[in-house]
Structure 1
Amino acid sequence: MPLVETLPIGADTAQWSVWGTVARIVVTDPARVAEAAELVKAELAAVDLACSRFRDDSELRWACRSGGTSVTVSPLLAHLVAAALDAARQTGGAVDPTVGAALCGLGYDRDFALLTGREVAPAVRVFATPDWRAVKLSVRELTVPDGVLLDLGATAKAVAADRAAAEVAAKLGVGVLVALGGDIATAGMAPAGGWEVLVQDRPGDPADTIRMPAGAALATSSTAGRTWGRPGEQLHHIVDPATGRPAVPVWRTVSVAAYSCLRANTLSTAAIVRGHAAPDLLGKAPSRLVTPSLDVLRLGGWPS
């Protein structure tokens, strides 16, 4: 997972482990940090119950077992699925929520914390995944084609960061930064000079310390963080929907700044999938791309 950290860590900060990564929150009023943490934990628990593909009791798993018939889902799951379908639409299918079966075929069939160190059988065949356009959502009526397993991992964590930050700012009246691994969202007033953030994937990788204004967001997608192996190959979790295989690691990491974490994550994930075409995809978005040899390409006014 990307080591994207707020600096410094003090009384205004709380952190804990969740979803195989680290959740960290920072607030502008240290006296409200405990309340803020409880609000964020509740939001993450609700998102997990709605859309985890690792829980048999999640609403998403229930919808995927519907045999291709339309089901009425909660407003939260409808929001999360809509975000995933919008990301697919915006990226021409580079970020596609129908990659769940491909990820399971690759061995990513449980929470990543439980996957680490586990040997994956080499005999699993992996097929190209169905197209996201086969999934239908009308307000709260969701239809998932029979046999399709949705995976919202490319967008749900970013949506959760956006939602949690907005809720803390609205309910507690404080400025807040919510970081879920490489997904960062802010809301409310920023500290003087902005939110100071260290962007670095792994120890020893290139590092940038940047300042984010109020309301800004940042996402880092990595081909080096969530990896696992099976005989003869090393795998990572960002699947190219065109092949059902891990995207070719043209980039070790891509970091993108935007004014929602969902938008930032959509672009960073799509850039990994698009490989050499990533600079054209990113356009003027402030971005930092790191190659496997640790060379850094900064685009769109990313601070040097």
Structure 2
Amino acid sequence: MVTAARRWELWSTEAFVIVTEPSMLDQAVDLSKGVCHEVEMACSRFRGDSELMLLRGQLGAGLEISDVLAAIVRTALAAAELTDGDVDPTLGSALLGIGYGRDFALLDVPRGREPESPGSMIVTTIAPPWTRMELTENRLALPAGVLLDFGALGKALAADWAAERISSTLGCGAMVVLGGDLATAGEAPPEGWVVLVQDLPSDPSGCVRLSSGYALATSSTQKRRWNHSGRQVHHILDPHTGLPAEAVWRTVTVAAKSCADANTIATACVVRGRRAPSWLRELGVPARLVDSAGRVSTVGSWPPDEMTSQS
């Protein structure tokens, strides 16, 4: 089976689409870009004309939101529930507080500096804001002062939705990759979807073969770093402190039936740090973790039965 691929820049990262019918590549790319635009216009914090930003400050009493934004919020609340709040959609203001108020490409990206300590822990016993969010069908109400952020999860959902839309519309197999988020749909090539698992060129690498319908997500503390107030920070926050999570892991890669699930679990593992492997074993989820020294460990029969290891 012949495949065809195309790559482009998107959201300060790379996107690419692979299809099993080369003649359908142009249509597949257009469908993928369309889904990504829908997600961006629904939930981007970096566009003043996105639905999320246009409704900012108006959701205290509850308002009707679009189907796309409602689906994103619903998935985010499920992610918070699964992770006991370690993946929290209400951290927009905390991200603003450490300087992540515009697209990553516009930030002061560090050169050659190691990340510093995230700072002092601030412990609070107040019920987290996500537990006080209310979504009834498409009517969303937020606690006062909450700014939502769906950056990582929105990207994963876009990958899931784009792969499914390509497959259902064009009738071919598709793999959609948006940065560290990868989703597949439709019939896979006979050899499966061959995926290189590696974050930076200097990191340990491995290849897996994904069966159709499987997804991968990698959460990294090495990318999306910038300088703020004289120190280096990254974008994965610990909701308990409102500060970047301790970089116990360089990367966590998780396999699941959806990219949204894989992304949720991988992000929570970064937040949980040394507690992540035991939690992954409880979930029975296949995962690959690279620690701060570059040592690789695997959990949950990585790669899973539906995947075969190349290295």
Scaled by the length of structure 2, the TM-score of the pair is 0.89
Q: Please tell me whether the aligned partners of residues 73 and 141 of structure 1 are also in contact (alpha carbons under 8 angstroms).
A: yes
Q: CA deviation at 1:34?
A: 0.7
Query: What is the aligned partner in structure 1 of residue 182 from structure 2?
Result: 184
**After the TM superposition, which of the residue ranges 126-135 and 92-101 deviates more from structure 2?**
126-135
Q: Which moved more, 1:86-95 or 1:276-285?
A: 276-285
Q: Secondary structure at the match of 1:64?
A: coil
Residue 277 of structure 1 is matched in structure 2 by 275
Counterpart amino acid of residue 290 in structure 2: V
Which ranges in structure 2 are unaligned for 5 or more consecutive residues? 112-119, 304-310
Q: What is the Cα deviation at residue 213 of structure 1?
A: 0.3
Shift of 1:154: 2.9
Give how far 1:127 is off: 7.6
Q: Which amino acid aligns with 1:298?
A: T
Q: Deviations over 1:233-285 (max 9, x none)?
A: 21000000000000011111000001100110010000000011101221221
Structure 2 partner of 1:3: none
Offset of residue 288 of structure 1:
0.4
Where do residues 1-304 of structure 1 align in structure 2 (5 Å cutoff)? Answer: 12-66=4-58, 68-117=60-109, 130-283=128-281, 284-303=284-303
Q: Cα gap change, 1:198/1:118 in structure 2, threshold over 3 Å: closer, same or farther?
A: closer
**Is 1:50–1:76's contact at 8 Å kept on the other side of the alignment?**
yes
Q: How many Å separate the matches in 2 of 1:147 and 1:140?
A: 20
Structure 2 distance, partners of 1:282, 1:153, is 23
- Percent identity reads 50
Deviation at 1:23, TM superposition (A): 0.8
Distance in 2 (alpha carbons) for counterparts of 1:87 and 1:11: 34
CA-based RMSD of the aligned residues comes to: 2.0
Deviation sequence 1:116-153 (CA, Å, 0-9, x none): 4499xxxxx99889521121111100012221100011
Q: Which runs of 5+ in 1 are unaligned?
A: 1-9, 120-124
Q: Which amino acid aligns with 1:190?
A: A
The 3-state SS of whatever aligns with 2:246 is coil
Give, in whole Å, the separation in 1 of the partners of 2:107 and 2:239.
22
Q: Provide the C-alpha distance between the structure 2 equivalents of 1:157 and 1:67, rounded to a whole number of angstroms.
A: 23
Higher deviation after alignment, 189-198 or 109-118: 109-118
Quick check: 2:43–2:69 contact (8 Å CA) kept in 1? Answer: yes
Deviation for aligned residue 1:63 = 2.8
TM-score when normalising by structure 1: 0.91
Q: Does structure 1 conserve the Cα–Cα contact (< 8 Å) formed by 2:7 and 2:17?
A: yes
Distance 1:118 1:50 in 2: 30
Task: Name the count of aligned residue pairs.
Answer: 290
* Contact 1:254/1:289, CA 8 A, preserved across alignment: yes
Between the aligned partners of 1:288 and 1:277, the Cα distance in structure 2 is 14
